[in-house]
Amino acid sequence: MTKRILSGIVAVAAICSCCGNQVEADFGKVIPLPERIDTLGDGHFILKNGATVSYDGSDSLMTRNAQFLKDYFKSDLGMNLRLEPDLGSGAAVQLAVDSLASGDEGYSLTVGDEGIVLSGGSPKGVFYGIQTLRKAVPAQDAGCSRVSFPLVKVSAEPRFAYRGMHMDVVRHWFPLSHVKRYIDLMAFHGMNTLHWHLTDDQGWRIEIRKYPELAEKGSYRPGTMIGKDFSRFDDVPVSGYFTQDEIREVVKYAADRYITVIPEIDLPGHMMAALHCYPELGCTGGPYEVSRIWGVMPDILCAGNDETFEFLEGVFDEVCGLFPSEYIHIGGDEAPRVRWEACPKCQARIKAEGLRDDAKSSAEAKLQSYFMTRVENFLQTKGRKVIGWDEILEGGVSQSATIMSWRGTEGGLEASRLGHDVIMVPLQYMYFDYYQSDDFDNEPLAMDGYVPIDKVYSFDPVLPEMTEEEADHILGVQANLWAEYIATPEHAFYMALPRMAALSEVQWLQPELKDYGSFSDRLQSFVKFYDRDGYNYARQHLGR
């Protein structure tokens, strides 16, 4: 009884100690750091509970932005802001679009004596300004009713148009709620593209109505190799897929936060789950199992069988219906050609297409190029562009394909020289499934490789040897979070954070503004947001 009364008193004291508190906002603590922070005077503007927010009420995107602002201040700080469409300069916070002042994704925030004016190059820019406004307010343990903002003008515009994070829901299954939390985190870090890896050897995780077995049978594996031992298996089934309604829900949830979801259907390799359902699409005819081991499988889609392309067109018909993204990722990585070398149908295709070995590429490498181009041509009829992993350069590929450079930066350099657009994801810097501490024994199991946060921070997607024209082909940068050894949301966030914070500065800041010392100071308080919002994160580089 005494204990209950005491804990009640402590709880009341905790709330009261904060509600009278005034919290000091500081734009200099934000990640990614805004490009410019100019002081306008010594004073402050106090944003109080019940303060008004004005916006163009006839614009649905700005209405949504205003609602986000209100919701963030409620959930972050317990403050109630009042939405007053079209109130104008009488409001404490005015949200506006000013397309002449900055690019589409840029924003400026002016804090004056009378209030805050946040203007963006588009509603998207306003959204990023809202993120900066909320991140300037330190994380609170309990609610507060007043925030003091210094009189400043803050402005920013991202360096790269493509600011991605990748998510693998195949090697382990993650629920819809996790996908949404991940998207929230991306928005918080100013990212705009979710690369969603939906199919692989170990499972098929998207419902395709024309081929129902893909989800029904292909999403299930009876067990998984234990740790890094390829000869021992557990018998814990891994299964799960996203229905088309769930996919639409994710796409909308992301779009509301100005994040485009790019689906990846990895082909012609990494297809064991599909081959398990439709063995006639493989060179040997199977049978094939949904894989219980990680790595690269020799069995891939048969390139000589027209049914393979019919199948893929059926799949992509539905994928395009679900994902409005300009780009579709068609994989192309880690596709051994041993089966093609021995397959009469593949060899007949090589002959019919006149593909020959030459000094640079084998006939089978050119067959992969034929394969990728045939899929690309189909997607072009639907108005889409393709992204492929850097292996697709090997047999030659159409210039319209965007290359995702993962085995290093060399693929990206070569691609930019050939006139391809490029997204940089080099594993030495951007594989968040690698260890982040060199004390491997005391870390959860991870892919072999070491990518500490300062290494992430140090990456420049534009290489010093690139010409200006080549540099213009670098659309941006993302980090990959493969899930072979990641089975829970808690572990996924541990691997992603706080490396995502470093990535956000690589994506947003011009190189001359990057400063690891400053970043690492800001990170000390920034991680309190993760604590507040219940995200697990690694602490090795926080020095505490």
Which positions are catalytic? 200, 270, 334
CB of 480 to ligand ACM, least distance (A): 6
Q: Which does 343 bind (CB under 5 to 8 A by kind): ligand ACM, Zn ion, none?
A: Zn ion
Q: Which does 486 bind (CB under 5 to 8 A by kind): Zn ion, ligand ACM, none?
A: none
CB of 13 to ligand ACM, least distance (A): 52
User: What amino acid occupies position 198?
Assistant: L
Q: Which does 262 bind (CB under 5 to 8 A by kind): Zn ion, ligand ACM, none?
A: none
Q: Are 18 and 137 in contact (CB under 8 A)?
A: no
Q: Which does 406 bind (CB under 5 to 8 A by kind): ligand ACM, Zn ion, none?
A: ligand ACM
Tokens standing for residue 419: 């006139």
Tokens standing for residue 320: 């395009």
Q: Which is nearer to ligand ACM, 200 or 376 (CB)?
A: 200
Q: Which is nearer to ligand ACM, 95 or 265 (CB)?
A: 265
**Residue recorded with tokens 């991140």:** 135
- For residues 354-413, which are near ligand ACM according to CB under 6 A? 389, 406
Q: Are 147 and 137 in contact (CB under 8 A)?
A: yes
CA 298 to chain centre: 29
CB of 291 to ligand ACM, least distance (A): 14
Q: How far apart are CA 27 and CA 319, in angstroms?
A: 41
CB of 299 to Zn ion, least distance (A): 10
Q: Are 425 and 406 in contact (CB under 8 A)?
A: yes
3-state secondary structure of 467: coil
Q: Which is nearer to Zn ion, 16 or 296 (CB)?
A: 296
Q: Which does 304 bind (CB under 5 to 8 A by kind): Zn ion, ligand ACM, none?
A: Zn ion
Q: Are 318 and 208 in contact (CB under 8 A)?
A: yes
Q: Which is nearer to Zn ion, 364 or 470 (CB)?
A: 364
Using rule CB under 6 A, residue 333 touches ligand ACM: yes
3-class secondary structure per residue, 275-340: HHHCHHHECCCCCCCCCCCCCCCCCCECCCCHHHHHHHHHHHHHHHHHCCCCEEEEECCCCCCHHH
**Given CA atoms 469, 473, 478, 481 in this order, what sign does their dihedral have?**
negative
3-class secondary structure per residue, 178-204: HHHHHHHHHHHCCCCEEEEECEECCEE
CB of 406 to ligand ACM, least distance (A): 4
Q: Which is nearer to ligand ACM, 55 or 327 (CB)?
A: 327
Beta strands in 390-491 (DSSP E): 402-405, 422-424, 434-435, 447-450, 474-479
Residue 28 per-residue DSSP state: G
CB of 392 to Zn ion, least distance (A): 19
Residue nearest to ligand ACM (CB): 333
Print the binding letters for residues 303-332 with ligand ACM: x by CB under 6 A, - otherwise.
Answer: ------------------------------
CB of 456 to ligand ACM, least distance (A): 16
Q: How far apart are CA 162 and CA 9, in angstroms?
A: 50
Q: Which is nearer to Zn ion, 153 or 345 (CB)?
A: 345
Using rule CB under 6 A, residue 334 touches ligand ACM: yes
Q: Which does 526 bind (CB under 5 to 8 A by kind): Zn ion, ligand ACM, none?
A: none
- For residues 86-105, which are near ligand ACM according to CB under 6 A? none
* 58, burial (CB in 10 Å: exposed 0-12, middle 13-18, buried 19+): exposed
Count the Cβ atoms, other than its own, within 10 Å of residue 72: 19
Using rule CB under 6 A, residue 242 touches ligand ACM: no
Q: How far apart are CA 75 and CA 23, in angstroms?
A: 15
Per CB under 5 A, residues contacting Zn ion are: 283, 302, 304, 343, 345-346
Q: Which is nearer to ligand ACM, 333 or 443 (CB)?
A: 333
Number of residues that bind ligand ACM (CB under 6 A): 4
Instruction: Give residues in contact with ligand ACM (CB under 6 A).
Output: 333-334, 389, 406
